[in-house]
Amino acid sequence: MEKGKIRFGANGIHIFKRETGLNILVDERIPPSHLWTKCPRQVSIALTNTCNLNCSYCYAPKHSATLNFRRLIGWLDELDANGCIGVGFGGGEPTLYPHLVELCSHVMKNTNLAITLTTHAHNLSKKLLSELKDNLHFVRVSMDGVGSTYEFMRGRSFETLCKNIRKLKTIVPIGINYVVNSTTFNDLDAAAKLVADFGASEFLLLPEEPTNGSHGINHQTILALRKWVSSYNGKVPLSISENHSEGFPVCNSLNKEKGLDVFAHIDASGILKRTSYDNEGVDIQNNGVMDALGDLKKMKQSEGI
């Protein structure tokens, strides 16, 4: 039986159990601020910038970078020891990281961190699925549009994607990530039905962010998306990216925790950032990730964030 994680914060005492996903908030009495957990609840990590797709709206940096496995193991152990609840491995495409299976196995066996993976799902061979089984808690699959829309956006077979998602569902709970823009919006109804058919646990809406290759979601599509969400009656719970949550009905029982108390991102060059979209961050030096976190908090405070 694994022990749960306990975090002290502005909302109270948060208890998390990774084996079941159980979350309990004890808020009858708020712990004194000097006891609050200083580590983010969740940290996303871009293992590599390498990807074998070339989506125009991708926000990942295009320069070559891959995290050193031994350094990464040290950061994960440090995050675990300081109260982080979960880590999400992404990229680029994380299935192209040469030490992915070894990495997930280490986290599962030597920490109490929950492990998620975000993938385009086109590299999920039978061998890789077998090796990842029992070494992940949740996988998010990127599915931007359905049918010909997906194939236009991603340049890969939609039929193959669906087959791979169904195979993945046999080994781990899944969620679907869906970039919303003027091209993919019209497929939302069909996508929602398909997400339910997959047996997914979450349908995460990601309004497109501006990148060097795109202007991001336009105002008209945001308004249409709000209307769609308000009338949604599907079985699969909806989520939306924090950057675009304003104007959407959201529920957050830990709403007194903000910024770096909630989330941080480590890019494939070892730079700690507030989010994956930030242009600036702090290089994680030999003193470790918590030291870099302290520097990043100071930097954001000086910027008024």
- The first and second tokens of residue 210, run together, are 């501006």
Q: What is the rounded average pLDDT of the residues 136-147?
A: 97
* pLDDT at residue 302 tops 80: no
Model confidence over 91-137: pLDDT tens digits? Answer: 999 999 999 999 999 999 999 999 999 999 999 999 999 999 999 99
Q: What is the rounded average pLDDT of the residues 135-162?
A: 96
Quickly state the pLDDT bin for 40 (edges 50, 70, 90): very high
Quickly state the pLDDT bin for 200 (edges 50, 70, 90): very high
* pLDDT at residue 167 tops 90: yes
* pLDDT at residue 211 tops 90: no
* pLDDT at residue 1 tops 70: no
User: In terms of pLDDT, which residue wins out, 247 or 75?
Assistant: 75
Q: Which of 76-80, 124-128, 301-305 is predicted least confidently?
A: 301-305
Q: Where exactly are the structural domains of the chain?
A: 1-37, 38-302
pLDDT at 150: 97
CA angle 32, 252, 111 (to 5 degrees): 65
DSSP states of the chain: -PPPEEEEETTEEEEEETTTTEEEEE-SSPPPGGGS--S-SEEEEE-BS--S---TT--S--S--B--HHHHHHHHHHHHHTT--EEEEESS-GGGSTTHHHHHHHHHHH---EEEEEE-STT--HHHHHHHTTS-SEEEEE--SSHHHHHHHHSS-HHHHHHHHHHHHTTS-EEEEEEESTTTGGGHHHHHHHHHHHT-SEEEEEEPPPBTTB----HHHHHHHHHHHHH---SSPEEE-GGG-TTS----TTTT--GGGTEEEE-TTSEEESSTT-S--EE--TT-HHHHHHHHHHHHHHTT-
* pLDDT at residue 62 tops 80: no
Q: What is the rounded average pLDDT of the residues 141-163?
A: 96
Q: What is the rounded average pLDDT of the residues 278-301?
A: 93
User: In terms of pLDDT, which residue wins out, 165 or 57?
Assistant: 165
Q: Residues of the chain with pLDDT > 70: what percent?
A: 99
> Looking at domain 38-302, which of 2.40.400.10, 1.10.3720.10, 3.40.50.300, 3.20.20.70 is its CATH number?
3.20.20.70
Q: Which of 18-22, 188-192, 228-232 is predicted least confidently?
A: 18-22
Q: What is the rounded average pLDDT of the residues 62-90?
A: 95
pLDDT at 305: 65
Predicted TM-score (pTM) of this structure: 0.94
